[in-house]
Amino acid sequence: MAAPEIPIDVDPATSIWSTDGLPMMYLPRHFMVNMQKAVEAKIGPTAYRDIVYGSSHLSALQWCRAEAKTHSLAPLETFRHYLKRMSQRGHGQVSIEALDVEAGSGTIVARHSAFALGYGPEARRCVCYVFQGSFAGGMRYLLECEGRADEPLCHEVACLAAGAAECRFELRCEAVG
């Protein structure tokens, strides 16, 4: 085992955790998986997937904007930093297999996805859809930096919880205007 690679500060007065000035929460994986399962049971996976797509998209965008300023990173460095931090925070080993910013497309791979491992192979479906909005939001940041309004879309096309060797996400872009 190894120690975390991310800097974590804890305010002794409030017990608030932060990394690079951004407040963080450290949660058991089962907390996130149980929450997703509970919402799916109530409104169905499709409805929840659509809701969380928007919230994770916004969160990625906010994260990239803040981190780019904090570390003075160029847009592509920021996107790579985002995926690296996801990996370092235990979401899974996230890497870029292909990326074409001009086209707004790419392939992102997540190995040992926390959601897929939390659900297990008995899920027999793609369960890491929280990441879809995250990767689309990261791509949106790249396009935003170029002053483009095009809307990236992301879809999990293979999942460890559906029997695949790894989770794979395809990014494509819809032209706007």
| Contacts of 65 by beta carbon, 8 Å cutoff, 6+ apart | 141
C-beta atoms surrounding 170 within 10 Å: 18
Interface with Zn ion, residue 116, by CB under 5 A: yes
The residue type found at 160 is L
Q: Please list, in sequence order, all residues whose beta carbon lies within 8 angstroms of the beta carbon of residue 144, skipping any fewer than 6 positions away.
A: 61
Q: Which is nearer to Zn ion, 91 or 148 (CB)?
A: 91
Q: Which is nearer to Zn ion, 78 or 113 (CB)?
A: 113
Cβ pair 29, 37 in contact under 8 A = no
Q: What element of type H or E holds 60?
A: helix 45-71
128 binds Zn ion (CB under 5 A): yes
User: Does residue 113 touch Zn ion according to CB under 5 A?
Assistant: yes
- Of 8-16, 46-54, 137-145, 166-174: span binding Zn ion (CB under 5 A): 166-174
Is residue 159 involved in binding Zn ion (CB under 5 A)? yes
Choose the stretch contacting Zn ion; rule: CB under 5 A; options: 37-45, 90-98, 117-125, 163-171: 163-171
Under the rule (CB under 5 A), what is the footprint of Zn ion? 113, 116, 128, 159, 167
